[in-house]
Amino acid sequence: MSRIYLSSGWLEVPWGDGDLGSWADRSPLHEAASQGRLLALRTLLSQGYNVNAVTIDHITPLHEACLGDHVACARTLLEAGANVGTRQ
C-alpha cells in the first residue's frame, strides 16, 4: 500500500508509484471514487486524470463511485464528462 499526497490530504493506493497505477490498471481516480474522497477526486480531475479510465475488468471511476454509493463523487465525475455507456 502506498499513499499519494494531494492538497486535500493523503489518498491510499494499492500500488507503489501513484502515477498511472499498476494494480489491475486502477488509477488514483478509481481509488478516490471508491473511497468517496470528493476533494481528492476533484484534485485529480483538475490535474488531468482520465475521467473514463478503464481497468482490465472494464471498471471506471464512475462505476466505483456508484458501487460505493458515493453520490457526490458520481455527480462530479458525470459533470467532468464520465461516460455512462462504458460497459462493466
Domain range annotation of the chain: 2-79
Residues 26-75: tens digit of each pLDDT: 888 999 999 999 999 999 999 999 999 998 888 999 999 999 999 999 99
Taking the alpha carbons of 44, 12, 25, 86 in that order, is the dihedral positive or negative? negative
**CA-based nearest residue to 44, from 62, 19, 66:** 19
Position 18 confidence tier, pLDDT thresholds 50, 70, 90: very low
pTM: 0.75
Where is mean pLDDT largest: 13-17, 23-27, 63-67?
Answer: 63-67
Q: Which fold has domain 2-79?
A: 1.25.40
